[in-house]
Amino acid sequence: MSRAGKIARRTFLIGSAAIAGGVAFGIYAVRRPHDNPLADGLAEGEATFNPWVKISSDGITLITPHVDVGQGVASAQALLIAEEMDLDMDQFQISFGRPAAAYYNTALAAEAVPFMATDEGRAAETMRSVMNAAMKVMGMQTTGGSTTIPDSFDKLRQAGAVARETLKLAAAQQEGVDVAALRTEGGAVILPDGRALPYTDLAEVAATIEPVAEVALRDPSDWRLIGQPIPRLDMVAKSTGTQDFGIDLRVDGMVHAAVRINPRQGGEMLGFEASAAREMRGVVDVLEIPGGIAVIADNTWRAMRAADAVEIEWGPAPYPAEQDAHWDALSNSFTDDKLDQTWRDDGDVESALDGAETIEAEYRSPYVAHAPLEPLNALIRVDPEGVEVWTGHQMPRLVQTIVGRITGHDADQVTLHNQFTGGSFGHRLELEYLKHAAHIARQLPGTPVKLTYSREEDFAHDFPRHIAMGRGRGSVANGQVQAMDLAIAAPSVMASQLSRADLPVVGPDLQIAAGAWNNPYALPHYRMRAYRAAELAPVSSWRAVGSPGAGFVFDSFLDELIHAAGADPLEERIRLMDHQVSRQVLERVGEIANWTGPRGDGQGRGVAFVESFGVPFAQIIDVTATDRGIRIDHVFASCDAGTIVDPVNFESQVQGGIVWALGHAMNCEITYSDGMAEQSNYHAHEGMRIWQVPQITLQALQNNSQIRGLGEPMVPPAAPALANAIFAATGQRIREMPFNRHIDFI
Amino acid sequence: MRLTVNGTEHEVDVEEDMPLLWVLRDELGITGPKYGCGIAQCGACTVHIDGIAARSCQTFAGDVAGAEITTIEGLGTPDALHAVQAAWIEHQVAQCGYCQAGQIMQAADLLSVTPEPSDDDIDQAMGGNLCRCGTYTRIRAAIHTAAANLRGA
């Protein structure tokens, strides 16, 4: 690793202002472009113009380095390149490519700095620029934080434009015509006489010339693909059973592995007895790995069955064994020594609440599992000269580092073949399953091993969303909200997650407060304090990370204050909103829902607004209280993520994300007993079934000056909107997820 | 034992109680049916046994020797789509796609029994098929489209 890279690794902080970009790394390291990974191993006559485009006489390959975990980014990335290259969507192949620093995420920095997304001031912009320098020097290739579109939007159009202009230059040279007389269409350069030269026929000439440096991007009025309903590239394969996921891969000589790792996560294995398992049909071996055992067999089912037959003595959990103790830890964390950061201190909350009649409430957000439907799996082969890994992962370069450390290889000796995954929701940021796979494969050099988690193992080691507790105190006067004093206590998800990647975290954890501090309201008096509890069960980024919990606390309590003030829930939110784009989102959702108030007598309407990942998002939910429980009738949604690249996938993400958020708010939690998660499969952590799915109406605005991603922002407002609707319908205020602890659903 | 999958006979040497899912996936290399839960909670492993939708994770290999087994690969192919698959593509249903083979097999079974299903019929038939991405809104719409196209055919 370069010296600058080492400095970056040591000083990399998420949520801290202590980093000094150009100063720490040297301006040279920051400005120097990364090498083009496609330039290695280029065949004769193959051309590459940048890390995203490769052309040979056989065809065109577009690299889409953000991994597709179901959110449709393989198509979206390719579409952005194709737009500027004048390619039709059936004229190229796509590949996730090899991990490379050149694919560092240019949008992640904006998510990692402690400034509101609406803050475009000098300090905020400087910090974003400094953090971006760190991301670049480190080569942080990451899919996550709803950043694929903001990272890609300019960069990939630029890549396509460079390819287009370079191919035109190649055609001009080859044909002896003026480049200004050329245009492109349908994957070909069109000559003045109307002849079409396919790009593939120009590869050989293009390979000999320097890529054009200065290019102009198309005017939006000329877009053919962006903003149009373009079918996703993976749709036919995913509708015909022909899409290979990591779990489907087979290579010659492959053996199957199943693991059992201490379900008291991080605890030791004290001993095991495997003689019965060794005698079972198809079993090749039983191996010890850190924290547990692995069975090697000739078939996945035989491996899993034999793993179950191993008798194992587990050590205790390195965290409180019982769930109540986890809540107690949070309850005891609202103390000065645990104050992580005061994120907002507008007006004078203390004076405003002094002597006033206050409204007080406490909220809880539970541990929740990611549980994507494809269980974690990895195919891996370790040889003396290198390692090959096939798995779907959101941080490809970290996979190389972590695997190589276990197998005794340098990161660049580890080849990752990134895969489409059957969901993630943050689960494919985890590294433990890869560590297990590496520990197994290093004991079987030369043999490809496919490790497949059983669903039960996956639940036991989900690394769920962190728990959070919120306490609010507030006051109202003259029919308006006056003061809100909000405190949220949670363990640090970033510290837990990055500790498993051996990355340090310094400074406050933005995710304790995300969803609560950053909503652009102008309350007369607003204080938001985050308290950092000690680490409890290991936790991880779950779709929208901190915002589903803290956003539930914030918006629920705001709703309580508005109710106490006797104001209209939507009108008061609009009145308090101090950000034009966000206000328009609230107004629009009211229009599409034909808002006339919260109703009552068994019919309830709730509204909620939470900004996350730079996207203001409002939802209105209609419910009916029936004698069989609450029925969710209709969800109205509006948001503003700026330019919409793919309107159909945009709508799909919003529909699916709302179903995700409501389903988990209704009935999902992970609880610990005897140090183990009590939920082992979907019967105990179900989410929403088709019969519970409401009608969903979406109208998105495009006034946001920044383009944003839509993987997550629909999640945080859904739970509070539902709770607020249930309150309107029944008078029952639910302050704890999952809601089925307090009320039945149909 | 002999198994007939998508019209082809296979001789397999497996335990009587090996779930059909794992015979298909690991012994025959037919990977359209997916492992999601192993306890009939998600429906990702759904196949047709003698034309009726069944969870292959709960079906013993020994119990289906001689039966006609159809997987998503046998329902239709990219070049010759079944009406349900065509509707799935038209409505752009899939996100991660991992559950969709099971959803499609369940929907095809529904339409073979109930050619004009109501929303309630759909909810009842599809209630055991879990989609973590939450594509249910589009699944409903696609089933109605497939039903209309099948009736018109």
B132 contacts A425? CB cut-off 8 A: yes
Residue A113, SS3?
coil
pLDDT reported for residue A10? 34
Chain position carrying tokens 């998420």: A14
Per-residue pLDDT averaged across A638-649, rounded?
97
Per-residue pLDDT averaged across B107-129, rounded?
98
Chain position carrying tokens 């439907």: A373
pLDDT reported for residue A133? 85
pLDDT reported for residue A28? 61
CATH class of the domain defined by B2-75: alpha beta
Per-residue pLDDT averaged across A281-295, rounded?
98
pTM: 0.96
DSSP string, A60-105: EEEE--S--SSSSHHHHHHHHHHHHHT--TTS-EEE-----GGG--
The nearest alpha carbon in chain A to B57 belongs to A301
Is pLDDT at A7 greater than 50 in this prediction? Answer: no
Is pLDDT at A127 greater than 90 in this prediction? Answer: no
CA–CA min distance A280, chain B (Å): 11
CA–CA min distance B82, chain A (Å): 9
Amino acid at A147: T
Residues 6+ apart with CB under 8 A from B6: B30, B69, B70, B71, B73, B74
pLDDT reported for residue A54? 96
How many A/B residue pairs have CB atoms within 8 Å? Answer: 180
Is pLDDT at B100 greater than 80 in this prediction? Answer: yes
Beta strands (DSSP E) in A525-682 are 525-533, 599-600, 603-612, 615-626, 629-639, 672-673, 676-677
Give the residue among A529, A535, A525, A497 at the shortest CA–CA distance from A513: A529
Confidence of residue A30 (pLDDT cuts 50, 70, 90): low
Confidence of residue A302 (pLDDT cuts 50, 70, 90): very high
CA distance B123 to A693: 9
Residues 6+ apart with CB under 8 A from A62: A52, A53, A77, A78, A81, A82, A92, A93, A94, A95
Is pLDDT at A16 greater than 80 in this prediction? Answer: no
A23-37, A265-279, A497-511: which range is least confident on average? A23-37
Per-residue pLDDT averaged across A634-640, rounded?
98
Is pLDDT at B105 greater than 50 in this prediction? Answer: yes
Residue A688, SS3?
coil
CA–CA min distance A444, chain B (Å): 20
Per-residue pLDDT averaged across A369-380, rounded?
98
Beta strands (DSSP E) in A262-376 are 269-273, 283-289, 292-297, 311-314, 339-346, 359-365
Task: Estimate to the nearest angstrom the gap between the alpha carbon of A430 and the chain centroid.
Answer: 12
Residue A474, SS3?
strand
CA–CA min distance A542, chain B (Å): 13
SS (H, E, C) A368-400: ECCCCCCCCEEEEEEECCEEEEEECCCCHHHHH
Residue A190, SS3?
strand
Residues of chain A with pLDDT > 70: what percent?
96
A681 contacts B132? CB cut-off 8 A: no
pLDDT reported for residue A492? 97
Confidence of residue A6 (pLDDT cuts 50, 70, 90): very low
pLDDT reported for residue A599? 86
CA distance A475 to A406: 56
pLDDT digits (tens, 9 = 90+) for A323-349: 999 999 999 999 999 999 999 999 999
pLDDT reported for residue B77? 98
pLDDT reported for residue A122? 87
A235 contacts B94? CB cut-off 8 A: yes
Is pLDDT at A208 greater than 90 in this prediction? Answer: yes
Is pLDDT at A201 greater than 80 in this prediction? Answer: yes
Is pLDDT at A514 greater than 50 in this prediction? Answer: yes
pLDDT digits (tens, 9 = 90+) for A357-371: 999 999 999 999 999
Is pLDDT at A27 greater than 80 in this prediction? Answer: no
Residues 6+ apart with CB under 8 A from A64: A52, A73, A74, A77, A78, A94, A95, A96, A97
Per-residue pLDDT averaged across B21-41, rounded?
98
Residues 55-114 of B with CB under 8 A from A: 71-73, 76-78, 81, 85, 88-89, 92-101, 104
B123 contacts A301? CB cut-off 8 A: no
Is pLDDT at A692 greater than 90 in this prediction? Answer: yes
CA–CA min distance A687, chain B (Å): 8
Is pLDDT at A2 greater than 60 in this prediction? Answer: no
CATH architecture of B83-151: Orthogonal Bundle (1.10)
pLDDT digits (tens, 9 = 90+) for A409-461: 999 999 999 999 999 999 999 999 999 999 999 999 999 999 999 999 999 99
Confidence of residue B153 (pLDDT cuts 50, 70, 90): low
Q: Which of A70, A689, A696 sits opposite B96 (nearest CB)?
A: A70
Per-residue pLDDT averaged across A716-731, rounded?
98
pLDDT reported for residue A5? 39
Tokens standing for residue A44: 């004769």
Q: Which of A232, A244, A683 sits opposite B92 (nearest CB)?
A: A232
pLDDT reported for residue A128? 87
Give the residue among A15, A720, A642, A578 at the shortest CA–CA distance from A340: A15
- Respond yes or no on whether the N-terminal peptide bond of residue A231 is cis (omega within 30° of 0): no
Residue ranges of domains in chain B: 2-75, 83-151
Is pLDDT at B5 greater than 50 in this prediction? Answer: yes
Per-residue pLDDT averaged across A496-516, rounded?
91
A217-226, A228-237, A300-309, A596-605: which range is least confident on average? A596-605
pLDDT reported for residue A113? 83
Is pLDDT at B141 greater than 60 in this prediction? Answer: yes
pLDDT reported for residue A125? 87
Is pLDDT at A660 greater than 50 in this prediction? Answer: yes
A373 contacts B88? CB cut-off 8 A: no
Question: Which one of A143, A239, A244, A299 would you mutate to disrupt binding with B, by most B Cβ within 10 Å of its Cβ?
Answer: A239
Compare A137 and A606 and report the one with higher pLDDT.
A606
B25 contacts A422? CB cut-off 8 A: no
**What is the average pLDDT score of chain A?**
94
Per-residue pLDDT averaged across A587-612, rounded?
96
pLDDT reported for residue A482? 98
